[in-house]
Amino acid sequence: MNGRRARIGTVLFLTVLALITASASAGAAGSTAISGLSPYPDGGDPTDPAAVTACNGEPQTGVLYRNSETEPYLAVNPTNPNNMIAGWHQDRWSNGAAQGLGAAFTVDGGMTWTPVNIPFTRCAGALSGSAGDYGRASDPWISFSPDGTAHYMALVADNTPNRNGMAVARSTDGGATWTEPQIIKANPARDPVGASLFHDKNSITADPIDPDLVYATWTLFRNGVTSLLVSRSTDGGEKWGPPIPIATFGTVNPAEVVSFRQGAQIVVLPDGTLVNAFYRILFDQKNLAVSFEQALFRSTDDGKHWDRMDIAVAGFTPAGAFDPELGIPVRDASQIPDIAVDDATGALYMTWQQANTQGLVEVAVSRSVDGGFTWSTPIRVSQEGEVVQSFLPAVSVNADGTVGVLYYDFRNDVTGDSELSTDVHLALFDAGLVFQEERRLTTSSFDMRQMVITGPRGYFPGDYVGLDTDGTDFVAAFTLANNLGLPVAFPQSPGLFVDTNNRQDIVFARETP
């Protein structure tokens, strides 16, 4: 076990803790703020782009949204449900990733949160030559082992050149202290033949029964070819095995090939079978047609070997949310699915975005009761019908078998006013996906037009948000905009800029079915 620990308690993070209450979102009166203002160095002048980005350790481009957080994840400790850990993008860049990844833990069920620093990047304090010796980080993902060990995985990267990798840190005390990050896999700026590799969209899953087994999965891009990779730890995350490609191109039938897989996420069935869910793009070579499907791979030997052919869950037409008046897109989950398993019955539930018959984005959910081999006809989650955009879903199953699907929508927006009124909801279903009720997690709407902008992809609440259960209750970490009356500029101007406004925060909410 690595004896070096990233410990909390510095003046810097006590200051951030004191600021958390002050930075709570106006749209989340019934929620608890998790994140606060930026903990990273400002070079003595938070408005000077050169000073603020000096900690990145290399030249930067884009808009740095200092003090703004996005893309949260949340995990509950199975040995102590009052202990949870959240992670997020801290100080998001408009053109990819963030200055670092934030983290906070709670020991009182989410009433209060203590921030911690994990040096995934130079701005977060990583030393030269360490696993965090990178300018930016992205894709926070957290999972608890059954013995209470927490694992935090991150994509680490430099802005230029394209040097990047997958890093992980672990905590054995509920998130209060962390090992120094270690690299699972990294590539230099250029490989020997001059083509950049890029590791992207990672997730990490601790086996819920065996504390020695932990699984990491992600996509590797190279020269237009994508491969899903899986790396295993068999000693509780202390060391990691080499990443194994489980899929590249693959023939589905004589006419079609799988040309893309992304958004991989592993869940573990009660019998130990691993299910790795993702979306795939099919290319019909004969008819030159492209289609999209949610799909999965299975492994029955703890991830050492995987199915040679992936299993289709459902076809869908991609769709994303957009500002109905200004036309600005929302960078949301897009095609990426979320998957959860009922630990008692083994039933699987998958949710994703798709286009409805009106061409607008909606959230769908489907169920499998045979380990992922067959799936029910997807149903629309929102009860508002097809004229209200719903997006950015997450799914979880509580100990009673109740299925919760969290999502955002614009149902309370008023055409012609200055705001894009946005809310977050939790839809509850029984084990058979019969709708039960819906809970609004935002006690008042927030204005999406205040959010950070990710270049041409628009407003950015995150590619995903966090949803888990502490047994019976559903617990969530999601992104809200602070109603500052300062809409962002779209499109963005080229160059290097700093926006110091606290545009958005990560908040926590709890719902008891």
Coil, strand, or helix at residue 260?
A: strand
- Sequence-distant (6+) residues with CB within 8 A of 423 are 408, 409, 410, 411, 412, 440, 441, 442, 445, 446
Tokens standing for 295? 């799909």
The H-assigned helical ranges of 21-112 are 49-52
pLDDT value at residue 16: 35
Tokens standing for 262? 């992304």
Answer whether 269's CB lies under 8 Å from 341's CB: yes
Answer whether 32's CB lies under 8 Å from 109's CB: no
Kindly calculate the radius of gyration of the chain based on its CA atoms and give it in whole angstroms: 21
Tokens standing for 35? 């994140």
CA–CA distance, 61 with 353 (Å, rounded to integer):
31
Coil, strand, or helix at residue 110?
A: coil
Q: What is the pLDDT along the chain (513 residues), one digit of tens a residue?
A: 333 233 333 323 333 333 333 333 333 336 899 999 999 999 999 999 999 999 999 999 999 999 999 999 999 999 999 999 999 999 999 999 999 999 999 999 999 999 999 999 999 999 999 999 999 999 999 999 999 999 999 999 998 777 899 999 999 999 999 999 999 999 887 655 556 788 999 999 999 999 999 999 999 988 777 889 999 999 999 999 999 998 765 555 656 788 889 999 999 999 999 999 999 999 888 888 999 999 999 999 999 999 988 999 999 999 999 999 999 999 999 999 999 999 999 999 999 999 999 999 999 999 999 999 999 999 999 999 999 999 999 999 999 999 999 999 999 999 999 999 999 999 999 999 999 999 999 999 999 999 999 999 999 999 999 999 999 999 999 999 999 999 999 999 999 999 999 999 999 999 999
Ordered domains of the chain (ranges, CATH): 5-333+445-511 (2.120.10.10)
The H-assigned helical ranges of 21-115 are 49-52
pLDDT value at residue 256: 74
* Nearest residue to 336 via CA among 292, 390, 290, 387: 292
pLDDT value at residue 205: 98
Tell me: cis bond preceding 491? Omega within 30 of 0 counts.
yes
Tokens standing for 3? 């004896």
CA–CA distance, 228 with 460 (Å, rounded to integer):
25
CA–CA distance, 379 with 342 (Å, rounded to integer):
19
Give the angle 99-104-110 at the CA atoms, nearest 5°. 140
First to last CA, the chain: 40
Give me the residues paired with residue 138 across strands.
155
| E strand or H helix that includes residue 449 | none
Give me the residues paired with residue 409 across strands.
390, 423
pLDDT value at residue 226: 84
